[in-house]
Amino acid sequence: MADRCDIAVIGGGVMGLALAVHLLEAGAGDVRLVERDTVGEGTTAAGGGFLGDWAPYEQESAAARYGRAFYARLQEEGDDIGYRSDGMMYVAAGEAVWQELIAWQTGTPLSAAEVERVTDGAVPADNVRGGVLISDGGQVHAPKVATALAKRFRAGGGRLDTRRPVTAISTAKGRVRAVETTAGPITCGAVVVAAGAWSGALTRDLGFFLPAAPQVTSRVSTEPLDIPGTLPLLFLTGLTSDEPGGGTLLWVREHEGGLLWGGTYATFPRDVLIDAPVPDRLDELPIDGVLEILRIAGLGALVMPALARRSRLRIKHGAPCHTPDSRALIGPVPGVEGVYVLAGDNEAGITYGPGYGKALADHITRGTPLDQWRPDRFGDRFTTQRQVVDALKAAEAASVPPA
């Protein structure tokens, strides 16, 4: 019996799952999602789960608003995804970073005493200069989101294949023919590549360089520490003011009574996947970055004492993919009819994923334009992931937020 579908989605992270759910809702027909591992096991497993809006574009802001409403609806309808709309707070450890923070970040400035009150004492007033509270921020637990979306996808009639690695996309006469997998081909009328760090290899075989660079990040979680469930997501800034660029920014949130934290470190293995093969599982990556996060957490304990009480630590690695202009890559892959890509999360796939998924589903089923996110908008400017990283660093250097 032939293995076929109308649309195949490659990748079972939050972005791929959100797209698959929206395709079903849009009446796209027989939708098949194919995942090399289990759902939510790639970069989603290392997701911080915070909801904000950092991009200076209305399309991204609309996607962020849609995402918050989408997650709220999931929670209200009985899917426990850990959704909370209690805001997020940037906390300044010292005077210099405090002045930079209030000049750069929009939100409500808080005194040190107000920071202590809002965090229920988790961040004592004596240890900080102040904070900025962004009230429309929120948080979810990324792996729980993946589980909830997979359940909805199946309930809506979608077919989900896990532990079925995709090896290639085959074409005939300039059009997609099938998704080739280790368990045989799946004939399809259209395919969406939403495989995160693995996406570039699939599009490269189709003759298109995907201008997205995977950069390693890691998250750490602890056993229960009696952390209050009302704690907003925290960004601890100015912990290493003597280091270049202010050092590693530490984000911290409550999860099941314990702490979940991580940071965007610049040390090895941040760029180990640039222009290199991506391993089958991200837990095979080196832990040097985790050691950097633990070092920064040690300094963060001066601001948030609970960070010193860590034990029974659990670690997850991710490889979010960055683009030269920090905007997503969504739409048709040039040169091959019926192939689309959903990529370039820019370390904010949880925030924007549902909005991006809806946008691409609308494009595929109704022809809604996606010009602002076109994958080929850079032309031939980039041919390597190192060039993408260099362009991103140059853009960041032109406008550096406090750290």
Task: Kindly report, residue by residue over 137-173, the tens digit of the pLDDT.
Answer: 999 999 999 999 999 999 999 999 999 999 999 999 9
- What is the Cα 262 distance to its own chain's centre? 13
Collapsing DSSP states into helix, strand and coil, what is residue 88?
strand
On whether the CB atoms of residues 39 and 12 are closer than 8 A, the answer is yes
Class of 88-135+216-318 per CATH? alpha beta
At residue 399, the pLDDT reads: 67
Q: Whole-angstrom Cα distance, residue 63 to residue 67?
A: 6
E-strand ranges in 93-193 read: 108-111, 130-134, 138-139, 159-161, 166-172, 175-181, 186-193
Average pLDDT, the chain: 93
Query: Quick count: other Cβ atoms within 10 Å of Cβ 78?
Result: 7
At residue 401, the pLDDT reads: 44
Q: Where are the domains of the chain?
A: 4-78+141-213+323-398, 88-135+216-318
Sign of CA dihedral 88, 56, 9, 194: negative
Task: Kindly report, residue by residue over 327-345, the tens digit of the pLDDT.
Answer: 999 999 999 999 999 999 9
Tell me whether the CATH fold assigned to 4-78+141-213+323-398 matches the one assigned to 88-135+216-318. no
**CA angle at 179 for the pair 173 and 184, rounded to the nearest 5°:** 120
Q: Whole-angstrom Cα distance, residue 118 to residue 87?
A: 10
On whether the CB atoms of residues 50 and 67 are closer than 8 A, the answer is no
Q: Whole-angstrom Cα distance, residue 355 to residue 220?
A: 27
| 207 Ramachandran zone, left/alpha/beta (phi>0; psi -120 to 50) | left
Between 3.40.50.300, 3.40.50.180, 3.50.50.60, 3.40.50.720, what CATH number should domain 4-78+141-213+323-398 receive? Answer: 3.50.50.60
Task: Kindly report, residue by residue over 56-109, the tens digit of the pLDDT.
Answer: 899 999 999 999 999 999 999 999 999 999 999 999 998 988 998 888 878 999
